[in-house]
Structure formats: structure tokens, C-alpha cells
Structure 1
Amino acid sequence: MNILITGSCGFIGFNLSIFLLKKKFKVIGIDNLNNYYDVKFKKKRLQLLKKYKNFKFYEFDLADQKKVDFFFKKNKINSVIHLAAQAGVRYSIDHPKKYVHSNIVGFHNILENCRLKSIKNIILASSSSVYGDKNNFPLKETESINPKNFYGLTKKNNEEMSEIYSKLYNMNICALRFFTVYGEWGRPDMFMLKYLMSYKKFDLYNNGLHFRDFTYIQDVNEIIFRLIKKRNIGFSVFNICSNKPFKITRVIQMIDNLFYRPKLKINKVGLQKADVIKTHGSNKKIINYTKFNKFTSLETGISNLVSWYKKNQ
């Protein structure tokens, strides 16, 4: 089976690619290797991916329609896992145009080519950001969505486009609302790895009183692997979460217990207007559908992350 993974050099895309390559899938990766964070992270991931003979890579921008069209003409694709996106909630406040370019135009180019080439199976990376600020936790997929930031708005748009394409063109599209995915080879701009990499000072938003439903990367890989084997599901949405929110200050304590360094100056910063106070999703639907229920504890996941960082810093 030839699987296209867009964003293959990003955090989730890289980990999923490695996971599937080890299971002997043929993976075709696309990534634009942009500089939203240090490109060296993406290039290191790409070096590891290229060690697999069953991996093929293309570098271009998915918003470039001519290049996307040409790619689909030259490659036979069985399934698409669309993970490419302009990431970052706070970054979207000052750079909304980049999110339209990558997340809306880029995704539509993928959808349209899948329609034209009769590629029926697509898995889409959505986000818990589509929910916005809520109080009735844990959030179910039936909860109304009202994103608080531009990143979440583009993901809402992706879901709506997917539902229309699914109904009009008989496509199986599965939107995954990821809740704070963390783990090895993570993004250096995200909380856990950013904290590990800080040696002088660290900006702590809202005094660390946020709650986040952290989801370990290897659990994400296993869930997507099980979803790949599913067929004829039409359009569906799933929360991908642990259903166990943790306060940020508690997570910092857990990391500090495993990783010693000289005293780090904590710079307390106010609540950012694009942030939500708490995320907490229900994972009953994805458990019932995939039969995967062995979610990695936060303690184990952080231990794995810290061990990886010590070896690779």
C-alpha cells in the first residue's frame, strides 16, 4: 500500500512515517521544510527517514497547485494522511495569512486531487483548538465548535470542507482532533521540549495554571495505524486524547524530577488572548471504534521524552 503523508518531516508526520515504514508500508512524504521553527530539526528527521528503502520524499508547498497536480499525476496513492499545516496557536495572531495559505489552500489542493484521482481514504489532522473555551468537560465530538484563534478556525474549515467532499464524492475522510501531542522528536516551540531546552529563563503563561489533555505520540501512531485499516466510514470526527488533563505546573514538576539543571528563571507571563484555559476531551468514541485503550501514562511518556532528549541534546 502506498500511503502519502503530508508534513512528513514534522513532529507527528515523522513519527508516524517511521512507525509505518517499520511495518513495511510504502510511505511517500511531502514537506516544505519551512522555517517556522529551526529547520535543522526537520532535516535531521528527514535524514532518518531516508534510511528506509520504502520511503520516497518530495519537497514543495502544498499551496502550489501546479506542483500538487503534477505530484498526483506521477504517483499512485492508496491512502492520504494529511498532517501538513502551519502550526502554532499564538503565532496565528500575527500571521493569519500564512494559515490561510497552508491550512486552507494547501488542504483543498489535496482534497481536489484525491477527488480527481478517486482516492477515497483520507485521514486529516484537525485540532482540539476547534472547540474554543468550554466548561462541560470532557468534551465529546458532538460539542459545538467555536474556535478562539485563527489556527483553530482553519482546522474548522478543513473539517467542513472534508464533510462536503465526503458527502458529494463518496470519500472516506476521518478528522482527528489532536489534544496536545507530545513525545520524542517533538517541536521545539511546544511546551515540554521548549522547557527541556531552556537553560536560562522560561516564559510561563498564566502562571502555569492551564490544564492540558496530553497525548503521547506513540499512542497517536497506533490509533492512526488502526484507522488506516478501516474502510467505508464516510465522514467522521474523533478526539485523540488521553481523557486526563494535567496542570502545567504539575508537568513542570514531573520534568524537573527527571532532568537536573542549574536553577532556571521562570518568567511569569499573562494569559494570551488566543489561549484556552483548559482542554479535556472524551476518548470513548475512538476507543470504541479502534479498540485501542492502552493510553500511555503521562509519567511514562515524559520519562521517554526526557530519556530521548538526554541522548540527543
Structure 2
Amino acid sequence: MELKNIDNKKVYLITGAAGFIGMHLSIRLLKAGCTVVGLDNINDYYDVNLKHSRLSILRDYGNFIFHKADLTDKNYLENIFKEQKINIVVNLAAQAGVRYSIENPDAYIQSNIVGFANILEMCRHYKVDHLLYASSSSVYGANKKIPFSIEDQVDNPVSLYAATKKSNELMAHTYSHLYKVPTTGLRFFTVYGPYGRPDMAYFSFTKAIMEDKPIKVFNNGDMYRDFTYIDDIVDGITKLVENSKALDENTKDLPYKIYNIGNNKPEKLMDFINAIEQAVGKEAIKEYHPMQPGDVYQTYADVDNLIEDIGFQPDTPLQRGIADFVSWYLTGFKK
């Protein structure tokens, strides 16, 4: 998608730039001529070689500046804001993963709470134009009402990861209310595609099928996810950036917005697995397991307000998106 209304004279800070969404968003902005300051701590939650591979692509652009740093290092963060004159922040850095939050809760408090508080403080004191930040569909917890709407109550998280993301939304609301910092929270729904995260099911399923190893199918396969292709996610984020001034004017009393950003079409887990099998050309060896702690039965995004505000329209069929991922996996990742 060509960025027609982007202000490429502004400086964009993308935290989590070596991450999956961060890399793809950075490329879109860099191609539009924007200056992108990328920040990432390159932690070892998953294979750091994949993160370095993403970074090597970004470093080919002369308008990309990278800082290896952690959001919890407030002094380092402040120096970036002072030196780079940041205009727009897209905060994608976070400790990800629902199941891992059960094993290592401290990582989530530091990165997702302390780190986000530091970002808010920088945006407050350095008067940024806008802060967009990653929330998650996990905030809906075990919500049985579908599709999930931003009007729904989200006060009952079922994982610490979800609790930290809900906390981010509350913290952003406070800064929008007290200091008029324009903030937009994005509740992502199961993003997938090339250069994706190895801890995500589609990645581990593909790897296991290729290696003739069994895959774990939770809740005996009776689960649904609103799988959203990475290009559709990036389209939504960049449209929000392009239209941020108009959106802020409409919410000037409280410059705070929350959006679901998903495909608006939940797919059955077994159909998802079948799409991978077809793309790989091999049937999976399946091991069926009960639901895991912290998991939810179904995710389904109501994106009506995103459609109304920016014309968001995801249009990547699951089969095509999975085929693109598998093609990348076989040629660009698998050694």
C-alpha cells in the first residue's frame, strides 16, 4: 500500500523494531522516505538470529537508525528522545506470549509495565504528536460474547500477559486524561506471516510438519482464532498514522482511542492446520491435548470502528497468507 498522506519529515520511533510487526511496519515507513528510529533489546525469548535477520533488512535503508536498548533503561530512552526529536511513537516492544507469562512473570512486569511507563513519560515530557501502542486480543479473556467489541468489559484477564496489556490501556488513558498525550491502543488478533515469531503456532506447526514431528493440538482442535495477515496489520497501523491528526481533533477532549485490529473472520484451528499441510505438501502428525491454562476458546474482532475511522479492510485469505509464510520459511529461514 502506498502511503499518500504520511508526513515523511517527521521522525518515527518504533520500539520492538527487530520484532515481527516492528520490522514490517518499519519497512513500510522507510520506503515512504520517513526517518525511523528503531529500538530493541534483542532478548532471547526466541531465536535471536531471526531478529538479526530482520534488522539486516532494515539496516539497508539509509534513513534507519538503530538502538540496542531496553525500555526499562529510562536514561537511555530519554537520550533518544532528546537527540532524535521524536514526533510519533509506535510502541511494539513487549514481552510476548500467553503461556510464557506463567513461567516467567517478572519479564512481563519489567517490559510491559515498567517499560511502558517510561514510554509514556517520554511522550509526556517531549510532547510527541501521537503514541500508538500494542495491546492484545487477550484482554478479552474468557469473554463468550462474540465478536469481541471495544465496548465489552475487559476486567477479567486469564493470563498475566493479558493483565499487563489491559494495564497499558489504563495507563495510556491516564496520560491522555492528565497530560493530553494522544494515545491509540491496538488490540492485535493473532498476527501471522513471513518473518513471524517462532513461538506462534503456525511457525512451530510448519517446523514440526517439515521435520515429521508431532504437533500439539489443544482443546482437541476445537478452537477458533481471528488470524490476521501481517500486511493487513501494517495497512491498518499506517492508515492510523496517516489520519492521526484528524482522529485527534475528533477526540480532543480526551485524545484516547482503542481499536481491535483483526481479520474480522475467525477460522477453526483444524482448518488453519489444514492450510499449513496443503502449503507444506505433507500431513501433520497430531497429538490432541486439553485446553492450556491462559488460553481462550475463540477470538473474533469487531473492527467496525476501525472501518469507520480509516476504512480498514483486511483482504488476505488464510490460504494465501499461509502459503506466503511457508514459502518464506522454506526459502528465507530454514537452513
Whether 1:62 and 2:71 are equivalent positions in the alignment is: yes
Cα distance in structure 2, aligned partners of 1:264 and 1:125: 32
Q: TM-score, normalised by structure 1?
A: 0.97
Percent identical pairs in the alignment equals 43
User: Match of 2:327?
Assistant: 307
Residues 286-308 of structure 1: CA deviation (Å, up to 9, x unaligned): 01111122432212211221222
- Equivalent in the alignment of 1:105: 114
Q: CA deviation at 1:273?
A: 1.3
Determine which of 277, 298, 305 is the counterpart of 1:278: 298
Matches within 5 A, 1:185-196: 185-196=195-206
Aligned partner of 1:227 in structure 2 is: 240
Do the aligned partners of 2:263 and 2:314 also contact (CA within 8 Å) in 1? Answer: no
- Letter of the structure 2 residue corresponding to residue 227 of structure 1: L
- The residue type equivalent to 1:242 in the other structure is N
Residue 179 of structure 1 aligns with an amino acid whose one-letter code is: F
Give the conservation status (yes or no) of the 8 Å contact 1:178–1:239.
yes
Match of 2:141 in 1: 132
SS of residue matched to 2:50: helix
Q: Supply the AA of the counterpart residue of 1:257.
A: Q
- Structure 1 Cα separation of the partners of residues 83 and 314 of structure 2: 39
Is 1:153–2:168 an aligned residue pair? Answer: no
Within 2, Cα distance between the matches of 1:36 and 1:243?
A: 29
Per the alignment, residue 50 of structure 1 pairs with 59
Q: Distance in 1 between matches of 2:323 and 2:310?
A: 26
Which consecutive unaligned segments of at least 5 residues does structure 2 have?
1-9
Q: Which moved more, 1:203-212 or 1:41-50?
A: 203-212
Shift of 1:201: 2.1
Instruction: Find 1:197's aligned residue among 189, 207, 217.
Output: 207
Q: How many residues align?
A: 312
What one-letter code is carried by the residue in structure 2 that aligns with 1:64? D
1:256 aligns with 2:277: yes
Assess if the C-alpha contact under 8 Å between 2:277 and 2:284 holds in 1.
Answer: no
Structure 1 residues not aligned, in runs of 5+: none
Cα deviation, 1:34-83, whole Å, max 9, x if unaligned, reads 00001111011111110000100000111112221222222210100000
Residue in structure 2 matched with residue 81 of structure 1 by the alignment: 90
The amino acid of 1:309's aligned partner reads: Y
Structure 1's 294 and 12: CA in aligned 2 closer, same or farther, altered over 3 A? closer
Q: Is the 8 A contact 2:11 2:84 kept in 1?
A: no
Letter in 2 for 1:192: Y
Q: What residue is the counterpart of 2:3 in the other structure?
A: none
Q: Which stretch shows the higher mean deviation, 247-256 or 295-304? A: 295-304
**For the Cα contact (< 8 Å) 1:26–1:55, is it kept in 2?**
yes
Query: Is 1:174 aligned to 2:184, yes or no?
Result: yes
The one-letter amino acid paired with 1:288 is E
Kindly report the root-mean-square deviation, in angstroms, between the aligned alpha carbons of the 2 structures.
1.2
CA contact (8 A) 1:120 1:170 kept: no
TM-score, structure 2 as length reference: 0.91
Change (3 A) 1:151 1:294: closer
**SS of residue paired to 1:267:** strand
SS of residue in 2 equivalent to 1:106: helix
SS in 2 for 1:258: helix
User: CA separation in 1, counterparts of 2:41 and 2:193?
Assistant: 22
